[in-house]
Amino acid sequence: MASAYLDNIIAQLENNQYLSPLTDKDEKLYRTYITAQDTYIENKLNINFEDSFEYIRMYFNSGRYQGFKYFDEENLIIIALEKKKKPRFKLFKPLGPSALEIIPKITETLASISKYPVQIVCLDNESLSAIKKNDQLKVKNIKEFNYYIYDLSQLRDLSGNKWKNVRQKIANFNKNYPKLKTEKLSPDNYRQVIHFIGAWRRYLLNKRNFSYSNLEKNKFAAEYYSTKNDFKNIWSVVFRLAGRVVAFQLLYRLGKDSAAHAIGLADTDLKGLSEFTQVHIWKELAHAGIKYINDGPSWRPGLDRYKRKFNPMAEQQIFECKISCE
């Protein structure tokens, strides 16, 4: 029954006159709406985690998500259908001169297909304010996330008291585990990485009551980027101990000197491994000319504390909320 219901929703989306399926061919279109070609625009730091089609590819069109788009020659709105027993829609921040004005129409269309509220993500303060002021929309469940930005020049020697914790963790890890091996993500090892991702999730769910169930995007990324890991636009490293995968890191380019840290997973039983692998991959990017990293959202207090110890130079407040038509 659930499958038939989902198939019916997909058929309605595919036959809707305003919508079309999202494909890799839409990358060029997406880029025309993204301005982060240089890190600084009008002297303002501009490093948005989602300013790459890699974000859309992983978060809107992989795993349990199937992507669609609304495009009217001026405005672009990207939509993800979450293929679950209770199918839900997620909208990417509206792109285009009048895109915010189209949101009620899109929301009404999606509401006629699925009864659940629509989630809209990656909103800055200005976009959120405009949506809240729209009389045609009802807004609820507003959530705020911190996105931290880091200056890689600080990683040269990890000197100073502010780096003491990270420095000690890495030193202790090197002492206890001197035989850690690194290798690039590749077609030869991505299946082992996928197995590691599954084991990592099961361990944290069972042992630490850590609910992070949506790792399909990580598994998708391990396979998809195994043939695209060029260390120019995609950087991904696999870490092993005694032949076993114990950590996986992946980043993608944003602008000419900035990148987003999309995936960072490490065996939590190996103290200091997370710090070691994060600094390792960031130094790889620094050698490639990357100056700044956006490390993505902090959606748990523990994760926020972890990210802060890497001494961010700036932070962004990004919002998401649920919307429905009045």
Fold of domain 2-147+320-325:
Aminopeptidase (3.40.630)
Amino acid at 277: T
Fold of domain 148-315:
Aminopeptidase (3.40.630)
Model confidence band, residue 144 (pLDDT cutoffs 50, 70, 90):
very high
Q: What backbone phi and psi angles, to 5 degrees, belong to 74?
A: -120, -40
Please state at what angle helix 190-208 crosses helix 216-224, rounded to 10 degrees: 160
Q: What pLDDT was estimated at residue 5? A: 85
Chain position carrying tokens 């990417």: 92
Would the pLDDT of 44 be above 60?
Answer: no
Model confidence band, residue 277 (pLDDT cutoffs 50, 70, 90):
very high
Cα 6 to Cα 11, 196, 322, 323: the distances in Å are: 9, 30, 21, 21
Q: What backbone phi and psi angles, to 5 degrees, belong to 63?
A: 60, -125
Chain position carrying tokens 């502010």: 162
Q: What backbone phi and psi angles, to 5 degrees, belong to 267?
A: -60, 115
Helix/strand/coil (H/E/C) assignment for every residue in the chain = CHHHHHHHHHHHHHHCCCEEECCHHHHHHHHCCCCCCCCEECCEECCCCCCCHHHHHHHCCCCCEEEEEEECCCCEEEEEEECCCCCEEEECCCECCCHHHHHHHHHHHHHCCCCCCEEEEEECHHHHHHHHHCCCEEEEEEEEEEEEEEEHHHHCCCCCHHHHHHHHHHHHHHHHCCCCEEEECCCCCHHHHHHHHHHHHHHHHHHHCCCCCCCHHHHHHHHHHHHCCCCCCEEEEEEEECCEEEEEEEEEECCCCEEEEEEEEECCCCCCHHHHHHHHHHHHHHHCCCCEEEEEEECCHHHHHHHHCCCCCEEEEEEEEEEEEC
pLDDT tens digits, 79-136: 999 988 788 999 998 999 899 999 999 999 998 888 888 999 999 999 999 999 999 9
Would the pLDDT of 65 be above 50?
Answer: yes
User: How much is the pTM?
Assistant: 0.91
Would the pLDDT of 30 be above 70?
Answer: yes
Domains of the chain, residue spans: 2-147+320-325, 148-315
Between CA 203 and CA 194 the distance in angstroms is 14
* Percent with pLDDT over 90 in the chain: 67
Between CA 203 and CA 190 the distance in angstroms is 20
Would the pLDDT of 300 be above 90?
Answer: no
The average confidence (pLDDT) of the chain is 89
Residue 53: both structure tokens together: 């089609």
Chain position carrying tokens 């507003």: 142
For the chain, first and last CA: distance in Å?
A: 30
Two domains, one topology: 2-147+320-325 and 148-315:
yes
pLDDT tens digits, 154-188: 887 888 999 999 999 999 999 999 999 999 999 99
